[in-house]
Amino acid sequence: MDHIDEDLKKKIESTKFVYMVAQSGVGKTFNGDYLQAIRGWKHIDGDIPVKESKLNSEYKDATEQLFDDYKNKIFQGEKWVDTGAWKAYMKILARLTLEGARDSDTVVLTHPSYIRSQRTGLRQYLIDAGAKDVSTVFLHCDFDVHMQSAWKRTVRQAEQAGITVEEFQINLIGLPGIVDFDSY
């Protein structure tokens, strides 16, 4: 990562990085925000590139690459195979996470990272940049509670967008009504 100056390199080496992983809707962002507000940790929301993709062409390209690869396989009825399409997105997250060391001696990154190679790749990006203390935390939630939360969240987001839940799902993942919460 070529953006790292000597000051940041020293901070990265002494910073604790926590990579918080869970399915969408389990509470990653809530926990990251909580740790930032209560413990003073720097929270990096792994959805930043998605949320800011209309404002940043690098984020847009990485987001499209990440999601289009997955969508194309589903539309073709093929099993998803890791093509490395996640790398650009995860490099962005690694850069944001490393830069978080400027603000705190503990940085928490929250992201679903459903694929093992994504998690391994991101951890390796951090280590290659000089991080010495990287932990991965997996959040789990009761299935029924998670499904209720996921449904309420989807309904709320669809209402905020002024569309139906089905239209929201089509816009989100390109498929009507298909959300696989068991593949984690």
pLDDT in tens, 124-144: 999 999 999 999 999 999 999
The reply to whether 46 and 24 lie within a common domain is yes
Which residue matches tokens 């940041």? 8
Question: In the predicted model, is pLDDT for residue 183 greater than 70?
Answer: no
1 lies in some domain: no
The reply to whether 85 and 16 lie within a common domain is yes
The reply to whether 73 and 151 lie within a common domain is no
Q: Which domain holds residue 167?
A: 143-184
Q: Which two tokens stand for residue 124?
A: 């390796």
- What is the domain count for the chain? 2
Question: In the predicted model, is pLDDT for residue 73 greater than 80?
Answer: no
175 lies in some domain: yes
Least confident range of 32-41, 61-70, 74-83, 164-173 = 74-83
Q: Show Cβ contacts of residue 136 under 8 Å, excluding neighbours closer than 6 positions.
A: 18, 19, 20, 21, 119, 123
The reply to whether 124 and 96 lie within a common domain is yes
The reply to whether 91 and 116 lie within a common domain is yes
Cα-flanking dihedrals φ and ψ of residue 32, to 5°?
Answer: -65, -45
The reply to whether 168 and 77 lie within a common domain is no
Question: In the predicted model, is pLDDT for residue 161 greater than 80?
Answer: yes
| Angstrom distance (rounded) from CA 144 to CA 102 | 40
